[in-house]
Chains A and B, each alone.
Chain A
Amino acid sequence: MIKLRPSAALSVIFNVLAFSASAPAETINAAGATFPAVIYQKWFQEFRKVHSDVQINYQAIGSGAGIQQLTQGTVIFGASDVPMTNDQMAKISKFKVLHFPSVLGAVVPTYNIEGLKTPLNLSAQSLAGIYLGAIGKWNDASLKKDNPGVNLPDMEITVVHRAEASGTTFVWTDYLSKVSPEWKSKVGPGSASVNWPKGLGGKGNEGVAGTVKQTPGAIGYIELTYAVQNKMEYGAVKNSTGKFVLADFDSVTEAAASTAKAMPEDFRVSITNAPGPKAYPISTFTWLLIPAKFDNATKKNAVVEFLKWMLTDGQKFAAGLNYAPLPKPVVDKEEKQIGLIQ
């Protein structure tokens, strides 16, 4: 019986090899954030249609893992929603790391409560309270205050967070620490790895979404697209001007607007709690971590081609997948940075 599997596999292998012999593809391995994984997978698929000789295999294993694998040299480039720190970049001796913002996205608080007709209004204090364990039930007074007239159930809140080092966690905690002094003092500033006071750990944005979707009374933080694609409810968050804003194309674009013109040279910037009446406060850029120097010319050309495509054609896919395209000034600056890649 074992003889059957290997030989069946062999024949398929030969077929595949024969097939691909006609179109030898350069495989580029990349790994990193799950936050943009939905659009990245779409991009790499679409890019392959245009450049059939380039196959970018992207594994969404988390921002922290993307940075580590880039450091170890097991992937050609990485992806992260949290910019690399100077220390992290210093650990890579072979090359300098260039940050390329790829797309804009939003981290939304998603929850699993039956019978709600409208999105919940969630302030930073509520979210911090929930994640700190101070607010234990959905019908807590502070939640009721922000949601008058909503029938909040007498149910325990099951907190879901990320199990591994996550850029999405960074954005979430960065926002919480900016607006909740209690969060900042008890847990600390924004970070990819957090000592969570309570809750279940999900693996990747998908794992958190999957757990929340399955667990009545749960709350989690995920990228907007995961909530929309899975028809999950998500709340409106109080922004810097005091209004409760739902994440969408406009609110995320507005969050990036003020930074767009003042983008630092290395593109490492946080846009949480951005100014603007319609801005969604938990918006973020997400970055591709590209080496400034490549050993292999074919791979370098492939990556450069992809970056150019991403900044032009790629951006058109953003809206349809619940992300937002990069502001024009940022795109222009990035196109200049491409020239730095050797």
Chain B
Amino acid sequence: MGTAVIAAPPQPAARSFVKRLQEGDKAAHLITLIFAASVFLVTVFLVYELWIHSSPSRAKFGFSFLFTKTWDPNAEQFGALPFIYGTVLTSLLALLISVPLAVGAAIFLSELAPPKLSNTCTFLVELLAAVPSVIYGLLAIFTLVPLMRQYIEPFLKKTLGFLPLFQGAPYGFGYLTAGVILSIMTFPFIISISRESLLAVPREQREAALALGATKWESTWQVVVPYARLGIIGSIFLALARALGETMAVTMVIGNDPGIHTSLLAPGYTIAAIIANEFTEATGEVYPAALVELGLVLFLITIILNASAQLLIVATTKKGSKQD
């Protein structure tokens, strides 16, 4: 793998050659530095641009932007609340559905399944992570939406319709459908990372629990899972961060209604969806700035979540190695 020496040991005549090579090192250092720095600079520039382009809106509305309900381009009154509500609601719905299923699957794959089955299933599930958002949207429009409209939503209305959460007409489009498609999109992250975290739990922990007479389930649920809980929670945060930023699949099924509705069956809007729909037509100073400010809000939320997720996942791996 190594190559033969390029230059003979330094001799007076060759010293300048070696010097040139070492300067080559400096050049390489500089070149790679420039590229690394470009990443730093571009990101800083991005944040700067977002800040600058949202300033007309920030100046006009201040913090009340986050709490105002109205979105009225004609009157130039903009508020982020319906979109924050929709974004958070659909993401929480997604987690509510996917966390039990995904953590359950992760437990099965790490504790119970024979290795070959576990690896194959994990491989397949991780491929799900690669499916582009717009394809989920395409599938959702023609399969999930009719399913929700014709069967699931009427069923929910019939059984749980006394709750304000399940009232109103079953459109098929709406918060709930968006939540379901987002939950499918988050499965791979939670399953994959949780499974890794569970597999990282030292064997001794399981054996100790079983030696004390625990059933396999008790050992898993009361010893292994808590041990791996930081990694599992970290995966949930990562999944949440992904769900919050999803654009296409959500805008194709959420119904695009900039209002706040208590019913899960109602149409709504998310930050990413309204930017996608209205950015090209935002005229004037304040309107585009308001959309950019929405983007900034979304960015901040995902930053916080991603940072928390990283901390948690790192903490798990550190803990795993410490305990040995």
A complexed with B = yes
Q: How many A-B residue pairs have CB under 8 A?
A: 67
User: Residue B32 at the A interface, CB < 8 A?
Assistant: no
Mark out the residues of chain B between 70 and 117 whose CB falls within 8 Å of any chain A CB in the assembled complex. 70, 72-74
Distance to closest chain B CB from A75 (angstroms): 10
Q: How far is the CB of A158 from chain B (nearest CB, A)?
A: 6
On whether the beta carbons of A163 and B256 are closer than 8 Å, the reply is: yes
Is B267 part of the binding interface, using a Cβ–Cβ cutoff of 8 Å? yes
- The answer to whether the Cβ of B149 comes within 8 Å of any Cβ in the partner chain is yes
Tell me, rounded to whole Å, the shortest Cβ–Cβ distance linking B247 to chain A. Answer: 13
Contact A214 B145 (CB under 8 A): yes
Which residues of B from 278 to 320 have beta carbons under 8 Å from A? 278, 280-284
Quick one: closest B residue to A199, CB to CB? B257
Total B residues in contact with A, Cβ cutoff 8 Å: 24
Write out the residue numbers on chain A whose beta carbons fall within 8 Å of the beta carbon of B280. Answer: 31, 61-62, 65, 68-69
The answer to whether residues A165 and B278 also contact, given A71-B283, A200-B256, A215-B172 and a CB cut-off of 8 A, is yes
What's the Cα separation between A198 and B267 when bound, in Å?
9
Q: Which of A189-230 contact B (CB under 8 A)?
A: 191, 193, 195-196, 198-203, 211, 214-215
Residue among A67, A163, A196, A211 with the most chain B CB within 10 A? A163
User: Is A88 positioned at the interface, with any CB of B under 8 Å from its CB?
Assistant: yes
Indicate whether B161 reaches chain A with its CB closer than 8 angstroms. no
B282 partner residues in chain A, CB cutoff 8 A: 68
- Chain B residues with Cβ under 8 A from A164's Cβ? 277-278, 281
Q: How far is the CA of A91 from the CA of B288 in the complex (A)?
A: 15
- Is the CB of B255 closer than 8 A to any CB of chain A? yes
A196–B257 CB distance below 8 A: yes
Q: Say how far A165's CB is from chain B's closest CB, in angstroms.
A: 5
> Chain A nearest CB: distance from B145 CB in Å?
7
Separation in Å of the A145 CB from the closest CB of chain B? 23
Residues of A within 8 A of B149 (CB): 215
In the complex, chain B residues whose CB is within 8 Å of the CB of A91: 283-284
Size of A's binding interface in residues, CB under 8 A:
30
Contact of A165 among B73, B169, B171, B256 (CB under 8 A): B73
- Determine whether the beta carbon of A200 is less than 8 Å from that of B281: no
Q: Is A156's CB within 8 Å of the partner chain B?
A: yes
Q: Which residues of B contact A62 (CB under 8 A)?
A: 280-281
B189 at the A/B interface (Cβ < 8 Å)? no
Would A158 and B73 count as touching, CB distance under 8 A?
A: no
B65 within 8 A of A: no
Pair A214/B146 contact, Cβ less than 8 Å: yes
Known pairs A200-B173, A214-B146; A64 contacts B283 (CB<8 A):
yes
Shortest CB-to-CB span from A121 to chain B, Å, is 24
A202 x B256 contact (CB < 8 A): yes
| Nearest CB of A to B251, in Å | 8
A214 CA / B145 CA spacing, docked (Å): 9
Docked pose: A200 CA to B261 CA in angstroms: 13
**Contact bitstring A161-198, B, C-beta under 8 A = 1, else 0:** 00111000000000000000000000010010101101
Complex CA–CA separation, A65 to B145 (angstroms): 28
- Inter-chain contacts of B255 with A (CB < 8 A): 200-201
Q: How far is the CA of A70 from the CA of B280 in the complex (A)?
A: 11
A143 to chain B, nearest CB (A): 17
Q: A193-B73, A199-B257, A200-B257 are in contact. Are A88 and B283 (CB under 8 A)?
A: yes
Residues of A within 8 A of B281 (CB): 61-62, 64-65, 67-68, 164-165
User: Nearest-CB distance from A187 to chain B (Å)?
Assistant: 11
Contacts of A68 in B (CB 8 A): 280-283
- Considering the complex, which residues of chain B in the window 145-182 have a beta carbon less than 8 Å from any beta carbon of chain A? 145-146, 149, 169, 171-173
Cα of A200 to Cα of B168 in the assembled complex, Å: 13
- The 27 sampled A-B contact pairs (Cβ below 8 Å) are A61-B280, A61-B281, A62-B281, A64-B281, A68-B280, A68-B281, A91-B284, A156-B169, A158-B171, A163-B278, A164-B277, A191-B74, A195-B70, A195-B72, A196-B257, A199-B267, A200-B173, A200-B257, A200-B267, A201-B255, A201-B256, A201-B267, A202-B256, A203-B277, A211-B173, A215-B171, A215-B172
Question: Which 9 A/B pairs are nearest by Cβ-Cβ distance?
Answer: A201-B256, A64-B281, A65-B281, A163-B256, A65-B280, A156-B169, A200-B255, A193-B73, A165-B281
Contacts A62-B280, A65-B280, A201-B256 aside, 17 further interface pairs with beta carbons under 8 A come to: A31-B280, A61-B280, A68-B282, A71-B283, A88-B283, A156-B169, A163-B277, A164-B277, A164-B278, A165-B73, A199-B267, A200-B255, A200-B257, A200-B267, A201-B257, A203-B251, A214-B172
